[in-house]
Structures are given as C-alpha cells and as structure tokens.
C-alpha cells in the first residue's frame, strides 16, 4: 500500500520548524542581543516538537507493522486449515 500523497505529520514538522525559524529571526531583529534567552526557548520548543513528531511517526510505523504481522499470521493459520 503506497503512502498517502499528503502526510500531515510531515507538514506539521515542516510548518513548526518554519515558524520557529521565523520567530527566531524576528526576535533577533526586534530585540537584538536581548532576544537570546527567548531564542533559546523557541529552539527548545522546536526540538520538543520535532521529537514528539518523530515519536508519533515511530509509534504509527510500529503499530502498522504489528497489524501486518497479525494479518500474515491469520492468513497462515487459514492456509493450514
């Protein structure tokens, strides 16, 4: 089964990273050196978001693998009967 044409998690990952980058640049432009702590928090939020998305992707992949293994097992049991 081919993957869907539009992957929501990929779009969310790209969008969140783009928003984070824009926010970091905007903070630097507006606040100058005073933006450093805020930029750190934005970067931390970007990392947490990326890790969360990666974990969700991993969970979905593992769940799909389990479902496929279960289907194979059931088909093999039916073939033996």
* Domain spans in the chain, listed from the N-terminal domain onward: 8-80
Q: How many CA atoms lie within 13 A of 42 on its CB side?
A: 18
pLDDT of residue 79: 79
Q: What are the pLDDT digits (tens) for 8-51? A: 999 999 999 999 999 999 999 999 999 999 999 999 999 999 99
**14 vs 8: CA distance, rounded Å:** 10
3-state DSSP assignment of residue 81: coil
- Res 1 pLDDT > 70: no
Tally of residues, the chain: 81
- DSSP E strands, the chain: none
């Amino acid at each position: 089964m081919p993957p869907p044409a539009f992957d929501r998690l990929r779009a969310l990952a790209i969008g969140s990273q783009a928003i984070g980058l824009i926010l970091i640049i905007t903070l630097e432009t507006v606040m100058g050196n005073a933006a450093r702590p805020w930029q750190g928090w934005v970067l931390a939020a970007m990392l947490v978001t990326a890790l969360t998305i990666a974990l969700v992707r991993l969970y979905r992949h593992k769940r799909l693998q389990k479902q496929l293994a279960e289907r194979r097992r059931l088909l093999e049991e039916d073939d033996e009967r």
